[in-house]
Every structure is written in C-alpha cells, then in structure tokens.
Structure 1
C-alpha cells in the first residue's frame, strides 16, 4: 500500500525541521508532502534545504482547508492512504505510525490521533465542547478528538469530498461528513504534543477564531440536512 503524509504549514520555522525528522522515522516510509501556505518567516527556506521531501508552495495564504485541498489535488490519485499532520508537532510526528497501522490492517477507514491532556492551561473548553456536541448532533457519534489535525485516511474516503471545509473548521466538518457517509472512524491514543496556546491575548484570539469557524461550518451543515 502506497502511503503519503500531507502537512499544511504556515510560519512553522521553529518546529518544521523536527516534524519532518519524526515523519522520516516512521517505519512505513511514507512519502512526505509539505504545503507551505505562503509563510512569511523562514519556513520555506528551511524546507528547501531538507532532502527527500516534496514541497508545494502556495502564492496566497487562504488557510488550512485550502492548503489541504491544494495538496490533495496533487497527490490523491497516487496513494492508497493519506495522512494529515500539523507542522508544529515536532518529533512527536513519529506517532503517526500508530494511525497508519489500523488503516493497513483494514480495521478502520479513518484514524484520528487522541492527544494526552495539555501540559498547560489553555482555554475554557468551549471550542472542544462545540466540536464534540456539534459532531454528536449531526451524527449521533461521540468523537472526543474532533479538533485533532492528525489523521490518516483510506484514499477512497478523501475522494468522496469535492472540497475540504475552510479554515479552523476543517477537522470538524470533515468528521461529520465522514461519519454521515458511514465510514468507520476510530480514535487512537498517541503521545503527541504541539505548540499549545495559553490564556494570553494571542491564545484567546486563536480560540475565538476556531470557535467562529466551527460555528459557521455547523450552521452550514444544518442547511445541508
């Protein structure tokens, strides 16, 4: 089975090198595709110096959903399974191996990484609650990691989507659509970590943007029913 890992990144100069190192350590030897969403820091220059990866450089920043869409347009017909990973997980990206195994063993159509509890206080749980209850409302299923960007799909699942949901609502929107179509989704506990946001102004703005994007996705789903 041919496997690819797709990582949309924006201004990840601090983590991207280690994230790629972790992906290269996966025993299944997936092909690695990095979609640079018009980074303004040194991310793209770092990527140019890394061997044995594929870089897709976008000319305009349009968000995570668009970056994933552009990446898939390039690779979807070439692989049997495709994983998504965020650029800020560092060396813990090696844990993606745990998500690949059930796909290869035909135990799941989609796997989602279930992270351990955060190491520092972040928000107040509103975004997670919106994700959990939004998914449950539309599908009847309880998915605790609906916000997780670390996933692996059988390619046939991804081909069922005409477009990827936009912005920070991408994971929740996709999870709802996948479950509605009857695919088998399982959550896999992993020892992964990412760049956690705190309760400062930047962190609050980030979570507010997440909340709004997810809310828009859920409202759109009402009219799709």
Structure 2
C-alpha cells in the first residue's frame, strides 16, 4: 500500500458492482449471483460491450441492471458506462428522497395554499455508492472480493486493488506487468505488486478525480497513477479470485501486445514518456528475468529554427521569444497547447521541418503535445516508410503512430498464421509491439 491515509471526505455505505462483459453468456450469471453475496452490495450493473452471444439476456435474467454498447468500445469505455449508470441510479434515489425520505404534518403551511403532508428529507448527505469493478468470468469466486469492499467501507481506503493468486493456465511474459509497475513507481513512488489487476473497489470521489480514463487496457495504470498523484489512499488486498487466463495462442499473443500498447499509451499521457521506461529494472524475486530494452533509434537532426543572441537578455525579451515560439508551434498538427516544458523541449527544432514531417505520415487526426515532443526525437522519415509499407486497410491514428515509432529499432512484424492482409491499423500496432517482445526474448 502507499503511505497516504484516507482522503475521501464522505465515506460510502453501499457498493455497486460494475461488470464489463463481452461474450460471457456462460459465466456471467454465476458471477452476478456471487457478487450479490458481498456484504454492502445492493446494485449490480453489467455493461455488455458489443457481445454477439446472449450475455445481455442472461445478465437481465439474473436481475442485473444491463446496459449495452452496440459495438465493442473497450474496457475503459465499459467501466465508464457502468459508473455513469450507477451515478444515474444514485441521483434518482436522491431525487426520490432515498432512505431518509419521510412525510411530516405541519401546523403552518410551507407553501401558500398547501396544508397537507409535505416531504421532508433528513439534512444528512447521501453519499454515492462506491464502485466495485469485477471481471465477468470470475464466476463463483467473485464473492472473494469482500475484502476490497471492507477496506473501502470500514477501513477508509480510497481505492482497494485485488491481489490475485496464481491463475491456472496463465502464460504471460511478464513484460506488460513490469512496464506498468515501473511506470507507476516512477510517477508516484509506489511499487505495486499487481499493477494490472482490474478488480478494484473505489470511492466515487476518487473515481471522479481520475477522469479522463486512459483508453483500453491502460485504464488500471492510469487509475493508480491519478489516484496516488491526487493523494488518495491506495492499497492492495489479497483476494482468492479466479478468472480465465490468457494463453500462448495467437489470440493470447495479440491480447498481451494490445495490453502493452495501451499501458505505454497511458504512461505517455501521464507525462511519463516511453523513453523513461527503457531502462532495465532490477530483477524482482519470483519474476521472469527477461527485460525489454529496445535498440536506440536513429534520429533525424532537425536544425535550430533560430539562434539565440549572445549575452544577457531581459525577462521581457525572453517572454516575447517564448510567445513567438508558441505561436510557431501552434501551426503543427497538434490537439491542444504546449506546456512550458514541452515548448522548451522543442526549442531547437525547426518547426516548419517538423510540421512537414508530421503531415507526411499516413495518419488521420492531430497529435497530443507530448506525442509531438516524443516524435521530434525520432526518425520521422523512417516512421513514414514503416507506416507506408504496413499491410493495413486505412490510415493510422496518432496514438498508433506513436506506439509504432517507439519500436522502430525492432524488425517489422510478420503476420501470424490465420491473419490475412489487409489488417486493421490497430491489429498492426499490436503486432509491432508483440514483435518487439519476441525480438527481446530471442
């Protein structure tokens, strides 16, 4: 656990379970029934994230509140939808008065012309439910999350994270876990044992402080960093939970590659750049020892846009130069404004040359400011060639281009058996990450 104490000011008394699910018709009912056994739980919400089976019907049959995404939007989006549905239910209960609602008779009417019973609500504040996120495939083991709920409701923990026992059939390579762990530790000073554990109980106040969520499989990493950075109390709690493990087949390999891609994306968004993660961590007892250390990439040397005059300068002239520099950088294909640190990082870069190189990439959309800083130090001509040769249908997103740029030092991926071109840009980005892992392991 981290060294902080509880920060949430209004302690919750009830818990809502949120279960993101996709094609879990065989397991979802057992998971819901087991979740209802947890003391403090009075609401179960299932978010069907684009299932093609009977997940929604089975969940409704088990008396869960079900909301359905028409297409798969990813874990983070499903979690956000579930939390929103709980907030709607909390709001509706407050509007109806909730448990504190009662009617009283008054000798004098409060409203002219009204002498009948008037509603009165206890002045105490209704605290929103805490959120308990569970995997849909946990089945009868879901009730073992009781310890997380107790930590939040009774102990005052703001976010409790499940420490799971070894899962039968798991075949992970460890690199995703180590990358997330090192990133969280660099950002906050806290070293989690299981940084990717998705089973978490979190107060509404903590949840709101962690918005916006990182997309996809990076959501757990961003939740930990944002909660800790905001001063909330985060604690890992042992829980005898079990779920379907990811194997070594093609599906499992692509899943882990996508996880690594999203974790790197989450860390980059939290200003903890991919470059910071390339240092080798010290071995941890019980872990696999392979280390991901991408080869240094050649970079395009971008000429300075202007030479600073020699000798001392006034603060006013420095501010004027900074203002002109920001105006120049604003013409780049960037979504948002550069911070002072990012502006200084791009101080010696020819903005026109960088702009032309970025626009030459087969990418749709604008880059985040911190992505531009990262890309300015890479070989953008080489990246353009790599993206142009990719057997994909469509153009890349800025996020996918950044992930591929971070792996230019590794061989181009080979399409695994069963996957025929053209593939989607997202599949290609996942394969690039997986190829980097395989190159290091070999």
TM range (shorter): over 0.9
Q: Which ranges of structure 1 fall in alignment gaps of 5 or more residues?
A: none
Partner of 1:46: 58
Structure 2: distance between partners of 1:114 and 1:164: 22
Pairing partner for 2:132 from 83, 88, 99:
83
1:111 and 2:160 are equivalent in the alignment: yes
Larger Rg belongs to = 2
1:70 and 2:81 are equivalent in the alignment: yes
Higher-strand-fraction structure = 1
Q: TM-score, normalised by structure 1?
A: 0.93
Structure 2: distance between partners of 1:202 and 1:60: 19
1:11 and 2:23 are equivalent in the alignment: yes
Offset at residue 209 of structure 1 (A): 0.7
Q: TM-score, normalised by structure 2?
A: 0.49
Structure 2: distance between partners of 1:143 and 1:91: 26
Structure 2: distance between partners of 1:194 and 1:37: 18
Partner of 1:26: 38
1:123-134 to 2 correspondences below 5 Å: 123-134=172-183
Pairing partner for 1:60 from 63, 71, 87:
71
Contact 2:17 2:132 in 1 (8 A): yes
Pairing partner for 2:262 from 202, 213, 219:
213
Contact 1:112 1:187 in 2 (8 A): yes
Deviations 1:157-185 (A, max 9, x none): 11223322210111111111111111111
Offset at residue 14 of structure 1 (A): 2.3
Secondary structure class of the residue paired with 1:40: coil
Offset at residue 60 of structure 1 (A): 2.6
Offset at residue 206 of structure 1 (A): 0.7
Q: Which ranges of structure 2 fall in alignment gaps of 5 or more residues?
A: 1-12, 91-127, 272-369, 372-442
Offset at residue 121 of structure 1 (A): 4.3
Pairing partner for 1:138 from 167, 187, 208:
187
1:154 and 2:203 are equivalent in the alignment: yes
Aligned residues: 223
**Higher RCO (C-alpha under 8 Å, 6+ residues apart):** 1
Secondary structure class of the residue paired with 2:190: coil
Go from structure 1 to structure 2 and tell me whether the alpha carbon gap of 1:212 and 1:4 turns closer, same or farther (over 3 Å shift): same
Structure 2: distance between partners of 1:162 and 1:90: 29
Contact 1:68 1:164 in 2 (8 A): no
Contact 2:17 2:41 in 1 (8 A): no
Contact 2:14 2:40 in 1 (8 A): no
Structure 2: distance between partners of 1:4 and 1:141: 27
Partner of 2:390: none
Offset at residue 151 of structure 1 (A): 0.4
Contact 1:99 1:113 in 2 (8 A): yes
Offset at residue 69 of structure 1 (A): 1.2
Go from structure 1 to structure 2 and tell me whether the alpha carbon gap of 1:137 and 1:33 turns closer, same or farther (over 3 Å shift): same
Secondary structure class of the residue paired with 1:105: helix
1:164 and 2:176 are equivalent in the alignment: no
Structure 1: distance between partners of 2:65 and 2:141: 20
Offset at residue 149 of structure 1 (A): 0.9
Secondary structure class of the residue paired with 2:50: coil
